[in-house]
């Protein structure tokens, strides 16, 4: 039995869900998202909650049960609260600024890095050393943040680079004379 799959996903006020076949569509104040589940699970909406049940007792049905419930919960969280990743930029002369739909990063290269922000995600730079990625799709928010971080990963000696705010960088000791 899936401990995660057994729990129904509660719909907060202002969020409504509609099931048609294997597709669930969730509408909320931040937008609309949909998810198509596999044929191994059954989706039902009742009493302000979405429940996911496996069809049969096969191993694949049990695997899809918990995963489908988590995907539905991510849809509900995305359209009601949204997802957010914060990045911190450390290093002398390293900075970020947003111009229209392009994030301009100065990361110690001989040129500026122009990162084009995809649709469905908003990127802001409240300070020159801080970048915030927000959106209703958890996977897209995480991927955009990872793509920005990829330009200059934090190094272990001085900690220079782009890191997540809650990320711990294991620091190494430098050479000794």
CATH of residue 60's domain is 3.90.930.12
The number of folded domains in the chain is 2
- Pick the closest to residue 141 from 64, 98, 87 (CA basis): 87
Pair (160, 87) in one structural domain: yes
Do β-strands 130-135 and 83-90 pair in parallel, antiparallel, or remain unpaired?
A: antiparallel
Interval 132-143: pLDDT, tens: 999 999 999 999
DSSP per-residue string spanning 77-90: HHHHT-EEEEEEEE
- Pick the closest to residue 75 from 3, 138, 124 (CA basis): 138
Pair (87, 156) in one structural domain: yes
171/163 Cα distance (integer angstroms) = 13
Interval 24-36: pLDDT, tens: 999 999 999 999 9
Measured from the Cβ of residue 154, the count of other Cβ atoms closer than 10 Å reads: 21
What is the reported pLDDT for 10?
93
Is 150's pLDDT higher than 80? yes
Structural domain harbouring 58: 3-80
Interval 46-59: pLDDT, tens: 988 999 999 998 99
Instruction: Kindly state the percentage of the chain with pLDDT values over 90.
Output: 89
């Amino acid at each position: 039995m899936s401990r995660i799959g057994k729990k129904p996903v509660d719909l907060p006020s202002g969020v409504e869900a509609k099931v048609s076949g294997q597709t669930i569509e969730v509408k909320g104040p931040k937008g609309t998202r949909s998810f198509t589940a596999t044929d191994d699970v059954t989706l039902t909406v009742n009493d302000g909650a979405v429940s996911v049940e496996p069809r049969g007792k096969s191993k694949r049905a049990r695997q899809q049960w918990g995963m489908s419930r988590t995907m539905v919960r991510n849809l509900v969280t995305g359209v009601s609260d949204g997802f957010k990743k914060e990045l911190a930029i450390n290093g002398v002369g390293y900075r970020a600024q947003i111009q229209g739909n392009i994030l301009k990063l100065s990361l110690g290269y001989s040129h500026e890095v122009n990162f084009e922000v995809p649709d469905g995600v908003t990127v802001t730079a409240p300070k020159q050393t801080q970048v915030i990625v927000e959106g209703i799709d958890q996977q897209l928010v995480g991927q955009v943040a990872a793509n920005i971080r990829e330009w200059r990963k934090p190094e272990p000696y001085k900690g220079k680079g782009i890191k997540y705010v809650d990320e711990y960088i294991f620091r190494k000791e430098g050479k000794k004379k």
